[in-house]
Structure 1
């Protein structure tokens, strides 16, 4: 109950702050929204994307329980992801192969490519304990790199992302957590149970997601409110799940659409694309809910090809999120708070964590 209250209070505060302020746009449209409702989202964006001079983006997102709850290192304790998005890039050969073999994906003038490097860390509730608690989740870390494609067709946006990495000691979870606890937050306890972490295992996944950015919208009092449903699936030895969700956004009317900040998977979708209106600054208030039907989660199920500790996972997990992004010139900073329901039997509390992201376009 305390976690839910803190989430609600922060979200309401963010809403109030945004309304006091009184925009930007993966792919954005001109300052004045088109009046022809028969024009597709793809047609709105094609000219804008082709004419962009600053068409490359670098984003860094840091997710941590200390940014959203009491700061206890347990469950999903840390995630870091560095992303690079090139809106007008020459697409790699694999993009055209995907175009031919995947009926849900097509190449056109809006197609873009993105790359990511990231690390996730998961720990039990008591990191001072050297022995593995048989009723708590395994110690685990995931280090990965990924390549993705995003394209707009008619009124929907498709994303495909392939990821390759490693789970186990080579993912450097122990070194990363001990470095932070020693040099960044020296008052934090020393994690002592990393000798129990999951064994080495290659980590492979392929994900697809379809979004409908302007499924519903209404403009009033100089503001634009919109809803964007989405669904998708991820397949691999790390994660296998299907997801469905809906995001809401509130922006100044002149900045009818912009994409969400970059997040660590399986967080809400977003490429980190943004633009800036003529007056040089903008804001973007967002929130949403997502449900996932989970068939596999290596961080709960344990290693795929060797014996390791595991717990009984929940097959349905939901996220509720809300946040605010602020843009000035070619820079954007955002904060997101996430409430995630319990993921396994015996988990004492739902997870509440925050995500801070920084983006620059050039």
Structure 2
């Protein structure tokens, strides 16, 4: 138990800094972007790189069904991700190993590294029931730590993330949910079915994503409207899927160097990066759409190396989201509403949940 709690603490420090801000480390600089319309996105970012005092980021993301609906405690119940990023840190040796393993990724002067820690919880629709409903999803939790890299090349941005963790009782899903229901939302029912959760299993995944941040944009009336398409793939015994999507954003023209808030995997991408606003405060309105072709989802398919409960999953899942981020000085807070289509046969309703994120640069 002590080892598991230690892992949980380490993972917490890893989460948001990495993937939350990982895709735009260069954006963390205060210099103005290049005004050369012919300059590539990489050249604009490279021109902003400098040794600044505020070059580190910490972020926390909380996703929960109670933030999007009345709080039904079914399907995707909760996700928490904490992270740290230092844009001027030297890359660790594992970064160059990942660079060699991923042929589509290359380290250059824009490359940055991030670390993250997270926990996801999944439950059937009736958490008061002690027996496993054979027509509903398994009880499951996932505790993980991640390391990732992001690089801008020409006009696209590549992100890779390697994740290692555990599924099963050691993921502390039962303890986390009961603690919240007892001390945070005491009116919530006590979950009784955790004895049915997935068995212990090491969890690993390797993901790659390519985005085009400046694919389309237009400035008018002091505002900047833009669209950023992306595609990628994730392989592992937890998730194996290919994804494609697009993000839209609307922001003040002078504060265009912002990115969508960070989300918990396998959610829509967003680095969570933000510049310190010139006027002290700023805002960022965003929306996105993603489709995933799913080959494996351990939280529906059940354990990989042992027998466990499972359900018939849908091989195509879509997410739609929208929200608002507000920035004041070095601090940022955001809210995202997410609609996720049904993930398995017998699921009564699509999932609707909210995500709140907090970020600070220092």
TM-score by length of 1: 0.91
Structure 2 unaligned regions, length at least 5: 1-23
Task: Tell me if the contact between 2:166 and 2:203 (Cα under 8 Å) persists in the aligned partners.
Answer: yes
1:60 and 1:35 map into 2 onto residues whose CA distance is 33
2:224 and 2:314 map into 1 onto residues whose CA distance is 37
Structure 1 partner of 2:20: none
Task: Tell me if the contact between 1:26 and 1:274 (Cα under 8 Å) persists in the aligned partners.
Answer: no
User: Relative contact order (alpha carbons < 8 A, sep ≥ 6): 1 or 2 greater?
Assistant: 1
2:142 and 2:264 map into 1 onto residues whose CA distance is 12
Structure 2 partner of 1:341: 341
Structure 2 partner of 1:155: 155
Q: Secondary structure at the match of 1:191?
A: coil
2:334 and 2:137 map into 1 onto residues whose CA distance is 30
2:36 and 2:341 map into 1 onto residues whose CA distance is 42
Structure 1 partner of 2:352: 352
Q: How far is the alpha carbon of 1:315 from its aligned partner?
A: 0.1
Structure 1 unaligned regions, length at least 5: 1-24
Show the 5 A alignment for 1:260-339: 260-339=260-339
Q: How far is the alpha carbon of 1:113 from its aligned partner?
A: 0.7
1:60 and 1:360 map into 2 onto residues whose CA distance is 9
Q: How far is the alpha carbon of 1:73 from its aligned partner?
A: 0.2
Deviations along 1:255-278, whole A, 9 cap, x unmatched? 223122111000111222211122
2:171 and 2:97 map into 1 onto residues whose CA distance is 31
Task: Tell me if the contact between 2:87 and 2:113 (Cα under 8 Å) persists in the aligned partners.
Answer: yes
Task: Tell me if the contact between 1:27 and 1:273 (Cα under 8 Å) persists in the aligned partners.
Answer: no
Instruction: Work out whether 1:186 is the aligned partner of 2:186.
Output: yes
Show the 5 A alignment for 1:223-242: 223-242=223-242
1:218 and 1:230 map into 2 onto residues whose CA distance is 19
Task: Tell me if the contact between 2:41 and 2:156 (Cα under 8 Å) persists in the aligned partners.
Answer: yes
Q: Secondary structure at the match of 1:117?
A: strand
Q: Secondary structure at the match of 1:48?
A: coil
Task: Tell me if the contact between 2:213 and 2:228 (Cα under 8 Å) persists in the aligned partners.
Answer: yes
Structure 1 partner of 2:115: 115
Structure 2 partner of 1:54: 54
Task: Tell me if the contact between 1:116 and 1:146 (Cα under 8 Å) persists in the aligned partners.
Answer: yes
Q: How far is the alpha carbon of 1:101 from its aligned partner?
A: 4.0
1:85 and 1:357 map into 2 onto residues whose CA distance is 15
2:83 and 2:288 map into 1 onto residues whose CA distance is 22
Q: How far is the alpha carbon of 1:98 from its aligned partner?
A: 2.8
Worse-matched range after superposition: 275-284 or 57-66: 275-284
Structure 2 partner of 1:65: 65
2:256 and 2:182 map into 1 onto residues whose CA distance is 45
2:135 and 2:113 map into 1 onto residues whose CA distance is 42
Structure 2 partner of 1:250: 250
Deviations along 1:261-297, whole A, 9 cap, x unmatched? 1110001112222111222111111101000000000
1:240 and 1:199 map into 2 onto residues whose CA distance is 19
Task: Tell me if the contact between 1:248 and 1:288 (Cα under 8 Å) persists in the aligned partners.
Answer: yes
Structure 2 partner of 1:136: 136
2:147 and 2:138 map into 1 onto residues whose CA distance is 28
1:273 and 1:26 map into 2 onto residues whose CA distance is 8
Q: How far is the alpha carbon of 1:31 from its aligned partner?
A: 7.5
Task: Tell me if the contact between 2:298 and 2:304 (Cα under 8 Å) persists in the aligned partners.
Answer: yes
Deviations along 1:100-128, whole A, 9 cap, x unmatched? 34331111221111101100000000000
TM-score by length of 2: 0.91
Q: Secondary structure at the match of 1:49?
A: coil
Worse-matched range after superposition: 240-249 or 256-265: 256-265
Deviations along 1:224-273, whole A, 9 cap, x unmatched? 00000000000000000000000000000112231221110001112222
The number of equivalent residue pairs is: 338
Q: Secondary structure at the match of 2:255?
A: coil
Instruction: Work out whether 1:202 is the aligned partner of 2:215.
Output: no
Task: Tell me if the contact between 1:67 and 1:355 (Cα under 8 Å) persists in the aligned partners.
Answer: yes
Distance 1:288 1:63, change over 3 A: same
